[in-house]
Chain A
Amino acid sequence: MTMNSVTQISNHAMDIKISPRLAKNVRRNVKERIIELILMLAALSAVATTFAIVGILLYESLGFFKTVSVVEFFTATEWTPLFEDAHYGIMPLISGTLTTSAVALALAVPVGTIAAIYLSEFASHKAREIVKPILELLVGVPTVVFGYFALLFVTPLLQKIFPELPGFNMLSAGLVMGVMIIPYIASVAEDAMRAVPMSMREGSYAMGATRFQTAIRVVTPAAVSGIVAAYILAISRAVGETMVVAVAAGQQPNLTFNPMESAATITAYIVQVAMGDLPHGSIGYQSIFAAGLVLMVMTLGFNIIGHIVRKKYREQY
Chain B
Amino acid sequence: MNSNTSPTKASVIENLGAVRAMIRRHKRNDIIFAIVGLLALMLGLITLLTLFIDLVMDGYARFNPQFFTDYPSRRAASAGLLSAWVGSALVMLVTFLTAVPMGVAAGLYLEEYAPKNWFSDLIEINVSNLAGVPSIVYGLLALGLFVYILDFGQSILTAGLTLGLLILPIVIVSTREAIRAIPVAIREAAYAVGATKWQVVSDHVVKYSQGGILTGVIIGMARALGETAPIITIGALTFIAFLPPSPVTTTPPFINFEWLSSGFTVLPIQMFNWLSRPDHAFHINAAATGAIIILVTLLMNGTAIWLRYKIRKNIKW
Contacts and interface: CB of A to CB of B under 8 A. Distances in A.
A296 interface: yes
B247 interface: no
A48 B302 CA distance: 33
B44 A210 contact: no
A189 to B, nearest CB: 12
A114 interface: yes
Chain B interface size band reads 35 or more
Contact of B106 (A39, A296, A299, A303): A39
B54 A153 contact: yes
A271 B232 contact: yes
A49 B166 CA distance: 10
A274 B237 CA distance: 11
Interface in A275-296: 275, 280, 288-289, 292, 295-296
A138 B45 contact: yes
Contact of A148 (B43, B197, B271): B271
A115 interface: yes
Contact of A122 (B33, B129, B235): B33
B11 to A, nearest CB: 14
Interface stretch (B71-79, B89-97, B137-145, B183-191): B137-145
A141 B297 contact: yes
A289 to B, nearest CB: 6
Contacts of B234: 274
Interface stretch (B1-9, B61-69, B252-260, B287-295): B287-295
B241 interface: no
A183 interface: yes
B136 A117 contact: no
B132 interface: yes
Contact of A142 (B113, B226, B309): B226
B43 A141 contact: no
A50 B298 contact: no
B286 interface: yes
A44 B130 CA distance: 13
Nearest to A281: B148
B246 interface: no
Highest count of chain B CB atoms <10 Å: which of A32, A122, A275: A275
B143 A40 contact: no
A32 B234 CA distance: 40
A270 B34 contact: no
Interface in A204-252: 210-213, 215, 233, 236, 239-243, 246-247
Contacts of A143: 226, 228-229
Contacts of B47: 149, 179
Contacts of A158: none
B123 A247 contact: no
B177 interface: no
Interface string B115-148: 0000000110011111011111111110111001
B95 to A, nearest CB: 14
A277 B189 CA distance: 61
A13 interface: no
Contacts of A233: 132
Interface stretch (A14-22, A74-82, A128-136, A192-200): A128-136
B41 A300 contact: no
Contact of A240 (B103, B114, B135, B222): B135
A303 B134 CA distance: 11
Given A212-B30, A270-B139, A274-B139, A151 B275 contact: yes
A118 interface: yes
Nearest to A122: B34
B81 interface: no
A45 interface: yes
B250 interface: no
A12 interface: no
Contact of A50 (B29, B40, B51, B130): B130
Nearest to A28: B196
B37 A45 contact: no
A267 B222 CA distance: 22
Contact of A43 (B26, B105, B301): B105
B233 interface: yes
Contacts of B293: 142, 144-145
A40 B301 contact: no
Interface string B219-238: 10011011111001111000
Contact of A289 (B103, B129, B133, B140): B140
B143 A148 contact: no
A274 B44 contact: no
Highest count of chain A CB atoms <10 Å: which of B58, B168, B275: B275
B56 to A, nearest CB: 12
Highest count of chain B CB atoms <10 Å: which of A43, A52, A141, A271: A43
Contacts of A186: 41
Nearest to A136: B305
Given A46-B127, A143-B228, A149 B26 contact: no
Interface in B203-230: 219, 222-223, 225-229
Contacts of B272: 144, 147, 243, 247
B310 interface: no
A60 interface: yes
What are the 8 A-B residue pairs with the smallest beta carbon separation, nearest first? A118-B37, A142-B226, A240-B134, A42-B105, A39-B109, A56-B144, A242-B229, A140-B301
16 contacts: A42-B106, A42-B109, A52-B141, A56-B144, A111-B40, A114-B36, A140-B226, A141-B48, A142-B268, A143-B228, A148-B275, A153-B54, A210-B30, A288-B233, A292-B137, A292-B140
